[in-house]
Structure 1
Amino acid sequence: MIEELAVVVKIENHQVWVEGGQNSACGGCLQKASCTTNAIGSVLKKKSVPVDSDIQLKTGDRVMVAIDENLLLRASLLLYLVPLIALFTGAGMADWLLPVDAHYADLWTAGSAVLSFIVSLWLINKAQSLLILNYYARPVVVRKV
Structure 2
Amino acid sequence: MIEERAVVVTSDVDGVVVTTPGRAGCARCAEGRGCGGGVLGRLTERRQQPTVRAANPDNAEFVAGDQVVIGLDDDALIGASLLVYVGPLVAMLGFALVAHLVLGLGEVATIFAGVLGLIAGFGWVARRTHQQDHGLRYRPVVLRRANGETSGQCSSDPSGL
User: Which category of TM-score, normalised to the shorter sequence, fits these structures?
Assistant: 0.7 to 0.9
Secondary structure in 2 matching 1:126? helix
Is 2:77 the counterpart of 1:72? yes
Q: Report the equivalent of 2:14.
A: 14
Shift of 1:116: 1.3
- Aligned residues: CA RMSD: 2.7
Deviation at 1:107, TM superposition (A): 1.6
C-alpha displacement of 1:21: 3.6
Deviation per residue, 1:43-100 (Å, 9 max, x gap): 9x8222211112221222111111112211111111111211111111111012334x
- 1:75 counterpart letter in structure 2: A
Structure with the larger helix share: 1
- 2:49 is aligned with 1:46: yes
Hey, what does 2:5 align to over in structure 1? 5
Residues 7-48 of structure 1 deviation map (CA, whole Å, 9 limit, x = unaligned):
11212453311122465556736275xxxxx9xxx89x8222
CA distance, structure 2, for counterparts of residue 93 and residue 22 of structure 1? 46
Taking the aligned partners of 1:23 and 1:96, their CA distance within structure 2 comes to 50
Q: Distance in 1 between matches of 2:53 and 2:128?
A: 21
Match of 2:55, as an amino acid?
Answer: D
Equivalences for residues 48-63 of structure 1 within 5 A: 48-53=51-56, 54=58, 55-63=60-68
Q: Give the alignment's TM-score, normalised by structure 2.
A: 0.69
TM-score normalised by length of structure 1? 0.76
Aligned residue number for residue 139 of structure 1: 140
Give CA deviations for 1:92-139 in whole Å, capped at 9, x if unaligned.
Answer: 11012334xx6xx22211111111111121112212223531111011
Which of 85, 98, 105 matches 2:103? 98
In structure 1, the partner of 2:113 is 112
Identity %: 29
Q: Which amino acid aligns with 1:5?
A: R
Tell me, yes or no, if the aligned pair for 2:96 and 2:114 is still in contact at 8 Å.
yes
The number of residue pairs the alignment matches comes to 133
CA distance 1:23–1:116, shift in 2 (3 Å): closer
Q: Which amino acid aligns with 1:86?
A: A
Give the counterpart letter for 1:108 in structure 2: A
